[in-house]
Amino acid sequence: MKLERAKLKQLMKDKLHKAGLIDSHAEVISEILTWSDERGYHSHGAVRVEYYAERIAKGGITTNPEFKFEKTGPASGVFYGDNGCGYVAAKLSMEEAIKMAKETGVAVVGVRNISHSGSIGYYAEMAAKEDLVAITLCQSDPMVVPYGGSESYYGTNPIAFGVPTADERKVIFDMATTVQAWGKILDARSKNKPIPDTWAVDEEGDPTTDPRNVANLLPIAGAKGYGLMMMVDVLSGIMLGVPFGKHVSSMYADLSKGRDLGQLHIVIDPSRFTDIESFKKNMSASLDELSQMKPSKGNDKVYYPGERALLRKAKYDNGGVEIVDDIYNYLISEDIHFNRYDHKNKFAE
Ligand code: NAI
């Protein structure tokens, strides 16, 4: 079914508030979940509300956390999240990074001990809106085999970049470091369809085309994706002194405990390196050149990263955001959650 943006956001906010989150935090998380859904990132939108509500209700997200930002150098800082809402901690810490980058030219801000922060492109976009370039990356729960391995070690460890242009376009390159999200495997299961053998492996670590045999996911681009995934864990895990690799908490193992995840924001002011107006003009020019390129067979055009998400948003702006009926029914129900996630395996089964 289709829901108007404001209505969807309000329903999510009300549910998370009812679960115990303070109003200002429920406001931020529902805004970012709506941001994801309206861009077609449904894996990180309303579908997550029931899980968050269960975790909040069971004490695994601090509902009124003591956030603390500590400057550790002229261009560095640590934001302590007290296992509060990851969305709020990631947003507030990006605000600190933006402020610092405007003052010093560059900012590196570590975010410690937070819960899940969703679609991280949102935080990169915050910086791009301020004419800054951002990179943000974070840990995720282990469900990916390292290159050559048979057991999960890393999470889908996403990375997002945000870059401004001279017009309203912003490049938001926002990706998990796995070939496909777990949601795509679930989709294939529900449709009884095989998956390409490049997506996932079975219990032995061998590639599988049967979505029911999937034990773990595969990194993008073989050894290179594995290396990238490792670097995300180094920068947002080991470097921040939070659990790393296979020690990162599972999303569904124990919903009464904080997740202690890490995230890192790097924000750069391009005006410290070149004239800002030429930077933005050249960014726009490069997007124009890409868009004017003759597409290859089977493609209608060359898109810039984030463009297709904006096309989906434009469609939803007119007709409402697409939401699965079951999710809508949950959102309008009186129930906070149905006890569906606690102590489940990494795929919430
Ligand atoms: P995706 O595969 O849909 O897109 C990845 C990137 O590629 C995007 O920037 C997209 O604009 C670009 N792209 C895709 N198709 C394109 C095309 N045809 N031409 C040009 N560019 C194209 O995204 P993915 O990897 O499935 O991630 C989805 C969301 O999940 C992201 O928002 C990510 O931050 C979030 N995520 C969050 C995690 C967390 O633990 N917080 C873990 C993993 C993902």
CATH of 2-178+219-274+321-332, one of 3.30.1370.60, 3.30.1490.20, 2.60.120.260, 3.40.640.10: 3.30.1370.60
Average pLDDT value for the chain:
96
pTM of the model as a whole = 0.97
Give the gyration radius of the chain's Cα atoms. Answer: 20
Q: Point out the catalytic residue in the list 17, 25, 44, 116.
A: 116
Residue nearest to atom 5 of ligand 1 (CA): 175
What confidence score (pLDDT) does residue 58 get? 97
How confident is the model at residue 346, as a pLDDT? 85
Pairwise CA distance, residues 291 & 288, whole Å? 5
Give CA 120 to chain center in angstroms: 4
Which residue's C-alpha comes closest to atom 34 of ligand 1?
119
Residues 6+ apart with CB under 8 A from 311: none
Q: In terms of residues, how long is the chain?
A: 349
Give the pLDDT means over successive 10-residue stretches in the chain (349 positions): 95 98 98 96 93 97 97 98 98 98 98 98 98 98 96 97 98 96 83 93 95 95 97 98 98 96 98 98 98 98 98 92 93 96 88
Are the C-beta atoms of 32 and 121 separated by less than 8 Å?
no
**Longest Cα–Cα distance in the chain:** 55
β-sheet bridge partners, residue 292: none
Which of 174, 179, 286, 312 should be mutated for ligand 1, with most atoms under 8 A from CB?
174
Sign of the torsion angle spanned by Cα atoms 77, 81, 85, 88: negative
Both structure tokens of 311: 């096309």
Q: 262 and 114 in contact (C-beta within 8 Å)?
A: yes
Is residue 337 among the annotated active site residues?
no
Residue nearest to ligand 1 atom 2, measured at CA: 175
**Secondary structure of residue 250 in the 3-state scheme:** coil
